[in-house]
Amino acid sequence: MVYLDSISILISSVLGLGLAIPSNTCIVMGNLDLIRKKGKLSPTDVIFLGKGVVNILLQCVLNLQGMIFVFSPAILSIIQVYVFVSTSVYFLTYYSFWLTFWLSAHYCTTITNLSYGFFIWLKRIVSNFPSHLLFLTALGMFIVSVPWFWIVYAESPLQSSENSTGASVLVSLSYFVPANTLGCILPFCLSLLCLVLTSSFLLRHIWRVKNNDSGSTRPNLQAHVTALRTIFFLLLMFTIFCLSLVLLFLENPSLIIIIWNLRLLSPSVEAAVIFQASNKLRRIILRRFWTRSWRNTEA
């Protein structure tokens, strides 16, 4: 059984590395190409760029964790290695979730044009200061993730005795509850709210257009549908991760391996979601590959 678990993680690691790194590198290079040509990026492109960088780093850390588990599990018992890997995974995962929210908020405030003060402020912040917003979010998630160092040291067998086990569990819960609330539950609920608002607005808009007797031409809703589909797919991945956190408490080895395999493939899936959401990125990548293949043919 352990052998099969190692094989499955090894396969997922190789697939994730072969799919996630090239695809997310294309996302990063494509947006850098847009910066070179236009001098700036739209808020959506800035978030996609951030997603690409985070996915590359997350895939590298997850692959490192998987390779250590397959080839030398004893290394994970070294407290420094375990702290580094765990803290990096939590930080990058929390940051990715907040990037999902900012993307959802941008789509929502752009499509619905809500007149409430909070949404007007949110639209102004996301539209005018996307780079600053992403930097402050990264700083905030780093501050949330840093206490993991002390939690792991407190729970380490070398650092704690039997008398301190109850205190360690209490400290662990006192950290994980607020950390997962800030890094996972809060952005999930906010993203879900954006999805519901955007969906209801588009449904009402389509109903009004269908019942419009003025004979006016029907507007093109493809961009709005693509935005809605993007939020839905990212939230679906979000939901799977939240369920995996709950299932981890069951401490079932088979479930843990399945969750680990899904995590290894998640950066690749996010890259696919980003590509379906951005026509500009698809055109840049296709043009680049087309030019490269044409040059190879000429040679």
CATH number of the structural domain spanning residue 42: 1.20.1070.10
Q: Would you give the distance in Å from CA 271 to the centre of its chain? A: 10
Listed in sequence order, the residues at least 6 apart from 61 whose beta carbon sits closer than 8 Å to its beta carbon are 85, 88, 89, 92
Say if CB 59 and CB 267 are below 8 A apart. Answer: yes
Classify residue 288: in a domain, yes or no. no
Q: Would you give the distance in Å from CA 29 to the centre of its chain? A: 18
Say if CB 255 and CB 247 are below 8 A apart. Answer: yes
Classify residue 287: in a domain, yes or no. no
* Residue 60 in this model has a pLDDT that exceeds 50: yes
pLDDT at 72: 82
Helix (H, G, I), strand (E, B) or coil at 129: coil
Classify residue 108: in a domain, yes or no. yes
Angle at 222 between CA 106 and CA 56, to 5 degrees: 50
Classify residue 93: in a domain, yes or no. yes
Q: What are phi and psi of 286, to 5 degrees?
A: -65, -40
Closest CA to 46 of 130, 159, 105: 130
pLDDT at 73: 79
**pLDDT band at 171, cuts 50/70/90?**
very low
For residue range 1-47, list pLDDT tens digits in order.
556 778 888 888 889 889 999 999 999 988 888 888 888 888 999 99
Per the structure, the complete domain to which residue 167 belongs is given by: 2-207+220-282
Q: What percentage of the chain's residues is helix, strand, coil (to nearest 5)?
A: 90, 0, 10
Classify residue 215: in a domain, yes or no. no
pLDDT at 153: 55
Please name the amino acid found at residue 6.
S
H or E element that contains 249: none
For residue range 204-251, list pLDDT tens digits in order.
877 877 776 544 445 567 788 888 889 999 888 888 877 776 776 666
Query: What does the DSSP 8-state code read for residue 215?
Result: -
> Which of 127-131, 163-167, 200-204 has the least mean pLDDT?
163-167
* Residue 284 in this model has a pLDDT that exceeds 60: yes
**pLDDT band at 116, cuts 50/70/90?**
confident
**pLDDT band at 191, cuts 50/70/90?**
very high
Say if CB 167 and CB 129 are below 8 A apart. Answer: no
Instruction: Domain count for the chain, please give it.
Output: 1
* Residue 158 in this model has a pLDDT that exceeds 60: no
Helix (H, G, I), strand (E, B) or coil at 221: coil
**pTM of the full structure:** 0.85
Classify residue 295: in a domain, yes or no. no
Say if CB 44 and CB 278 are below 8 A apart. Answer: yes
Classify residue 296: in a domain, yes or no. no
Classify residue 172: in a domain, yes or no. yes
